[in-house]
Homo-oligomer: A and B are copies of this chain.
Amino acid sequence: MAKVADKPFFPKPFLVFFVLSIIFGFGITLSEAGFPKIRHYKWEVEYMFWSPDCVENIVMGINGQFPGPTIRANAGDMVVVELTNKLHTEGVVIHWHGILQRGTPWADGTASISQCAINPGETFTYRFVVDKAGTYFYHGHLGMQRSAGLYGSLIVDPQEGTSEPFHYDEEINLLLSDWWHQSVHKQEVGLSSKPMRWIGEPQSILINGRGQFDCSIAAKYKNGLKQCELSGKEQCAPFILHVHPKKTYRIRIASTTALASLNFAIGNHKLLVVEADGNYVQPFSTSDIDIYSGESYSVLITTDQNPSENYWVSIGVRARLPKTPPGLTVLNYLPNSVSKLPISPPPETPDWEDFDRSKNFTFRIFAAMGSPKPPVRYNRRLFLLNTQNRINGFMKWAINNVSLALPPTPYLAAMKFRLSTAFNQNPPPETFPIDYDINNPPRNPETATGNGVYKFNMGETVDVILQNANMLNANTSEIHPWHLHGHDFWVLGYGEGKFSAAEDGRKLNLKNPPLRNTVVIFPYGWTAIRFVADNPGVWAFHCHIEPHLHMGMGVIFAEGVHKVGMIPPNAMACGSTAMIKNYPRKP
């Protein structure tokens, strides 16, 4: 019962546009523009036995599938997902990563922020318009349910009758993730324990939910691992990329890892990067891409190599000392047999600590010509210091010395109904002490939890300078991929050390900064982003590394909440919002 129906759908803006186009003769016919449709899905979430890396475990599945079903729609369509929670004791929500949720902030799928978690047995209907073509995905956003396997792809094609600004013959969609054998429940307890028990490195890298533990399909080139099967395993056989020679393929690559920063390469094939996070970029050619959790890319490849051979697809770990073998699969030139393994070893993943190489890739990403440009001035600039801290011996991450602890009442309804006791009404600090030494462990590592909100005026232009720093141990600083809900942002620049408004502020790229929804901060560095706070709602901005968010690495943004329309009552049946009187409710 995955897909229920595709119905024609006429959103108000479309109808206005349609009528205007008739009056003014825009020259757009119905068959060209296509009708926006309703893409209707009925989903049930439940744990099920599954062997993502050939080792049986329980995963969170949707309609018996892992990863969940792929949503496919055209820009302008309305996606409707009736989500029923079939778990026995756990709530659930689903976040539509990269979808802006304009006019539907309650459908953003963030527990404690946009809605109450859906209780066991209950159904919540997500209804939102996908307004921009691109490569997206969805995932759980309660506790560590993303780590438990609650994710899937969301692909938006251009409006019917329009086309992408680049040519390709066919496409292949890859959703990358990392997988642990320890249950997420134990992982959570470990992270919340004193002393903290770290989850360690993943056992396997999954490509479309498929990996291989303790073996390799390229074993003959590797030492230590045994050869694994290319086929025959229903759940963990590798996802093969079947291609025809002499064609151009768009490969969509999204990463929903809990932890791992990945590097993607295809033996003998150059990758032409054309899209990042649902935004077109200035095409550039590269041998491999780095992809951090929360990011997505489209690359074009041309199958112009020796057609009698197959080629490796290799996905390895970067930015952390890898203990996980690369995820491997085969680019299969048809009609070759898949079992004809490539004649040379898989591409080597670049050295994990070669951050210069990582930066070299990242700094090549610019907006495609004709992309929206950022406002030239900001109204407000936040400086957000990322630090590892402790609270009474518990390990935490904090932003400007506040470790985010989400409240039981969702912010969106709490703010709309002015429930002033639902969260701390004082906003958190907008900057950090000027003399903070980012190159050494925090002098006073003790911090505190908080749940205050950064409130923006509707329409103001906000800069955020994400400032990395040393961790608790000397000489350590990690990458963090920061993801913003409800907005794309322009990435104005990156730099080493502490951001200097005088020096660095002048060098920001206002010409062709890429639009993204996720951006990385490098060790000991800063990243500057800009966005317009013009989407009424409450929006998480957080590190996309699941255990980091679990330990408090996030902040809450809000703007124009008074303009937010009718929040569905069952999005607010928890915490203090459950007590709201005189709010129209259906019996």
Contact = CB atoms under 8 A, between A and B. Distances in A.
Contacts of A406: 121
A48 B193 contact: yes
B90 A89 contact: yes
A88 B186 CA distance: 11
Interface centre among A89, A193, A406, A584, by most chain B C-beta atoms within 10 angstroms, is A89
Interface centre among A88, A189, A406, by most chain B C-beta atoms within 10 angstroms, is A88
Chain A interface SS verdict (over half): loop
B49 A193 contact: yes
A234 to B, nearest CB: 16
B121 A575 contact: yes
B189 A58 contact: yes
A415 interface: no
Interface stretch (A240-248, A258-266, A366-374, A566-574): A566-574
Contacts of A540: none
Interface string A138-154: 00001111000000000
A128 to B, nearest CB: 22
A574 B572 CA distance: 10
- Sort A-B residue pairs by CB-CB distance and give the 8 closest, nearest first: A573-B578, A121-B408, A89-B143, A88-B143, A89-B90, A579-B585, A122-B408, A581-B585
A419 interface: yes
A214 interface: no
A574 B119 contact: yes
What is the interface residue range for chain A against chain B?
35 or more
Nearest to A86: B192
A85 to B, nearest CB: 9
Contacts of A192: 46, 88
Contacts of A380: none
A408 to B, nearest CB: 3
Contacts of A189: 47-49, 58
A584 B581 CA distance: 7
24 contacts: A47-B188, A49-B189, A49-B197, A58-B185, A58-B186, A58-B189, A88-B188, A89-B90, A89-B91, A89-B117, A89-B143, A116-B119, A117-B120, A119-B408, A119-B575, A120-B143, A122-B574, A183-B185, A569-B578, A573-B574, A578-B578, A579-B586, A579-B587, A581-B585
Nearest to A116: B119
Contacts of A497: none
A83 to B, nearest CB: 13
A580 interface: yes
A574 B578 CA distance: 9
Contacts of A121: 112, 406-408, 575
Contacts of A185: 47, 58, 183, 185
A578 B587 contact: no
B122 A119 contact: no
A110 to B, nearest CB: 14
Interface string A191-217: 011000100000000000000000000
Nearest to A186: B58
Given A91-B120, A185-B185, A580 B585 contact: yes
Contacts of A183: 183, 185-186
A573 B142 CA distance: 19
Contact of A408 (B120, B419, B574, B586): B120
Contact of A580 (B117, B120, B587): B587
Contact of A575 (B47, B122, B550): B122
Interface in A468-488: none
Contacts of A582: 582
Contacts of A419: 587
Interface centre among A406, A408, A584, by most chain B C-beta atoms within 10 angstroms, is A408
Interface in A524-573: 550, 569-570, 573
A48 B197 CA distance: 12
Contacts of A186: 58, 183
A119 B46 CA distance: 19
A576 B569 CA distance: 10
Contacts of A580: 585, 587
A188 to B, nearest CB: 5
Nearest to A56: B186
Interface centre among A186, A550, A585, A587, by most chain B C-beta atoms within 10 angstroms, is A587
Contacts of A407: 121
Contacts of A585: 578-581
Given A119-B575, A122-B574, A408-B120, A142 B58 contact: no
A122 B193 CA distance: 21
Contacts of A90: 89-91
A542 to B, nearest CB: 16
